[in-house]
Amino acid sequence: MIEQDPGMGYDTGIIMFGLKKNKLVADKSAISKALSRRLEPAGVFPSKEEAVSVLSQRPCRVYLGIDPTGPDIHLGHTIPLLFLKELWQLGHQPIILIGNFTAQVGDPTGKSTARPPLSASQVAQNSRTYTRQMSKILPKDAFKVQYNNDWLGKLKFGRILELASQVTVQQMIQRDMFQERIKREEPIGLHEFLYPLMQGYDSVAMEIDGEVGGSDQIFNMLVGRTLEKKLLNKEKFVFATQLLANAEGRKMSKSEGDIITVDDEPREIRRKVLAMDDGLIKKVFELCTEKPTEWIEANQNKDRREWKEELADELVRMYHGEKAVSLSRSAKEVAGGGKNLAELLSGNLSISRSEAKRLIEQSAVEINGQTAKDWNYQTKLGDKIQVGKGRFIEIK
């Protein structure tokens, strides 16, 4: 029987980066601290106490699975990556598993409809820069990379049936997103039932000690724990990280255009941070940076603009280095003037003239501190233009 999650419903070739051996820190307090900051309060299975006991006694191999359904590592990915970094610093071995097989199937978690399948070439293209991007968070000498096509692509049907016999239809159908589709009389693909088995088999194939993933992945990760126990008689720890969401529960997303990727240009990172919900800033500091908790608590009541500027500084520093911080604080400089405002915005923000006019009509544009009223305003040298909360243009 699969251990039940609290109502929430992850991924070969091997690349070695000259792995650096750390001295194991057999300090339970340090392990406990690492299991507290980025994880859900009840996000360690079978228990935090058991995990602390084992992690303080011997080196363990803990993996993060990422399906390359898009080309970028984003802010949400950095949460489990920073957790793995903490474990590595305490002497454990992070594994990054690129789901080049599972990405072609699609994880049904949180999806209201089945996701269109990706081709092998699309998956390969998306994953091409993953290791470079991840090394901005987790040092290159800290992790191994594996690809799950190496074993899932070779499974015979008999083995698949054996795996399927470990999970019941009732267990699968209880998942919230499947219940929602049943109510709407929308189809559920059989392959979507098989996804948790594939992710679970990753744990068996690697004979892993632990897996980390977002709290929306608890069901899938527990399938792996069950399979590893039944097939290998080996215990596997599950670590569920918190998700980035504001007070209303809305997550940052690609569709909303507010998700920050580690390859975003420094100014773009700052623009997105300045446009971020005020209520998210402390959480991003806690989950997505290495700023000490004591510093975050001491600074959380700062002026909101200053608080966001400091978060932007930290993210730019992490992804692009110290020199990029000052660059990100400067406005985008545009040569010359004499263009009307809508034309200037269209040419420099990569938007249409009609979109530029709409921004002006919605009072989302300021010129030299005053709300712009006329889209036909003729720009001049020295004008400082602000669009929304975080885009700035200065005419030189």
pLDDT of residue 106: 77
- Pair 95, 150 in one domain: yes
Decide if 257 is inside a domain: no
Q: SS3 for 187? A: coil
**Residue 287 to residues 34, 40, 106, 371: CA-CA distances in angstroms?**
12, 11, 26, 36
Instruction: Count CB atoms within 10 A of the CB of residue 382.
Output: 10
Do 283 and 351 reside in the same domain of the chain? no
| Pair (210, 62) in one structural domain | yes
Stretch 183-203: mean pLDDT, rounded? Answer: 91
Categorize the per-residue pLDDT at 254 as very low, low, confident or very high, splitting at 50, 70 and 90: low
Most confident region among 194-203, 243-252, 271-280 by mean pLDDT:
194-203
Q: Tell me the per-residue pLDDT of 28-65, one tens digit each, with 9 for 90 and over.
A: 999 999 999 999 999 999 999 999 999 999 999 999 99
The two three-digit tokens of residue 30, written as one number: 């340090």
pLDDT-based confidence at residue 332 (cuts at 50, 70, 90): low
Over residues 64-75, mean pLDDT: 92
pLDDT in tens, 103-150: 988 777 766 566 677 888 888 888 888 999 999 999 999 999 999 999
- 232 and 315 part of one domain: no
SS3 label, residue 258: coil
Domain range for 362 is: 332-395
Do 224 and 289 lie in one domain? The reply is no
Count of domains for the chain:
3
41 plus 140 within the same structural domain: yes
76/107 same-domain check: yes
| CA distances (Å), origin 165, targets 103, 194, 218, 372 | 23, 11, 20, 65
Question: Does residue 223 sit within a domain?
Answer: yes
What is the three-class DSSP state of 356?
helix
Q: Is residue 201 part of a domain?
A: yes
- My answer on whether 116 and 208 are in the same domain is yes
Average pLDDT over all residues of the chain = 86
Tens digit of pLDDT for each residue in 11-30?
333 333 344 445 555 589 99
pTM over 0.85: no
Task: Please say if the pLDDT value at position 214 is more than 70.
Answer: yes
Query: Which among 288, 294, 295 has a CA at the least distance from the CA of 273?
Result: 288
User: Which amino acid appears at position 190 of this protein?
Assistant: L
Residues 36, 153, single domain; the answer is yes
In a domain, 255, yes or no: no
- Final residue in a domain of this structure, among 307, 329, 351: 329
Together in a domain, 310 and 368: no
- Assigned token pair, 373: 């009223």
- d(CA 380, CA 277) in angstroms, rounded, equals 33
Q: State which of 50-54, 67-71, 188-192, 376-380 shows the largest mean pLDDT.
A: 50-54
Q: What are phi and psi of 380, to 5 degrees?
A: -140, 165
Examine residue 6 and state whether it is found in any structural domain, yes or no.
no
Residue 350 has pLDDT above 90, yes or no: no
Shared domain check, 199 and 65? yes
Shared-domain flag, residues 337 and 314: no
